[in-house]
Amino acid sequence: MKIALVGGTGDIGTGFAVRWAANHEIIIGSRKADKAKESAAAALALLGERGNVWGTDNGSAIAAAEVVVLCVPYEHLVSVTSDLKASYRDQLVISPVVPMSYNGKFFEFNHPAEGSAAMQAKSLLPGLQIVSAFHTICAAALQALHRELKADVFICGDEPDAIDLVAGLTQEIKSLRPLKAGPLAASALVESLTPMLLNVARRNKIKDAGITIVSER
């Protein structure tokens, strides 16, 4: 697949690029095409020059892709969705975006008016399939190419085929397990796990924390 990483010059975007470049064409997007090209070269260096990664401006990256991952902080969700609407066609959009802030004592979830970042993306991009996933996956762990993450990815969405596609992308990353977490309207529950996870990690000195559901397997 052709996968655009909007704001893919950042932490989580770099992680997705190195994990998916062996099987897919990865298009790193940025506000500045030159910065995206530098990030693509850096990702290829991490991959030992094996993989298909290139960089361009966010709008061109979206236009060239079948799947778009929104790799920007929540504050910039509008600028990479509605402001770039002309670049979207019928792409599947994946949102790992977490609306949260640090209040000086702890990280807290900041409910958007629509309930979650994913529901806001849906209202900004009407008609497109939006799937919400990867919120509790640590970018540093993702970037460490050979590390087994041993974590679960909670996926919310309304279209079964789109959920299956994101579950497949999840399974391509070593030891990540995709778990269905409900319709897109349930995304706030998943997004709000991230500030909880960061509060626990910080207080208990847990590096690169993740979440997995335990059971008698």
Ligand X SMILES: NC(=O)c1ccc[n+]([C@@H]2O[C@H](COP(=O)([O-])OP(=O)(O)OC[C@H]3O[C@@H](n4cnc5c(N)ncnc54)[C@H](OP(=O)(O)O)[C@@H]3O)[C@@H](O)[C@H]2O)c1
Residues in contact with ligand X by CB under 6 A are: 7, 9-13, 30-31, 35, 71-74, 76, 79-80, 96-98, 134-135, 137-139
Q: Minimum distance between the CB of residue 73 and ligand X, rounded to whole angstroms?
A: 5
Q: How far is the CB of 216 from ligand X (least distance, A)?
A: 29
CB 197 within 8 A of CB 211: yes
Which CB sits closer to ligand X, 7 or 157? 7
Rounded least distance, CB 88 to ligand X, Å: 16
DSSP result, the chain: -EEEEETTTSHHHHHHHHHHTTTSEEEEEESSHHHHHHHHHHHHHHTTT-SEEEEEEHHHHHHH-SEEEE-S-GGGTTTTTGGGGGG-SS-EEEE----EEE-SSSEEE---TTSSHHHHHHHHSTTS-EEE--TTS-HHHHHSTT----EEEEEEES-HHHHHHHHHHHHTSTTEEEEEEE-GGGHHHHHTHHHHHHHHHHHHT-TT---------
> Which of 137, 156 has the CB closer to ligand X?
137
Give 48 or 87: the residue with its C-beta nearer to ligand X.
87
- Which lies closer to ligand X via its Cβ, residue 1 or residue 33? 33
The minimum distance between CB 117 and ligand X, in angstroms, equals 7
Give phi and psi for 141, each to the nearest 5.
Answer: -70, -40
CB of residue 55 to ligand X, shortest distance in Å: 9
Minimum CB separation of residue 128 from ligand X in Å reads 18
In the bound state with ligand X, the residue whose beta carbon lies nearer, of 62 and 137, is 137
Q: Which is nearer to ligand X, 129 or 192 (CB)?
A: 192
- CB-closest chain residue to ligand X: 10
Q: Which residues contact 147 (CB under 8 A, 6 or more apart)?
A: 141, 174
Instruction: Label residue 182 left, alpha or beta by phi (over 0 means left) and psi (-120 to 50 means alpha).
Output: left
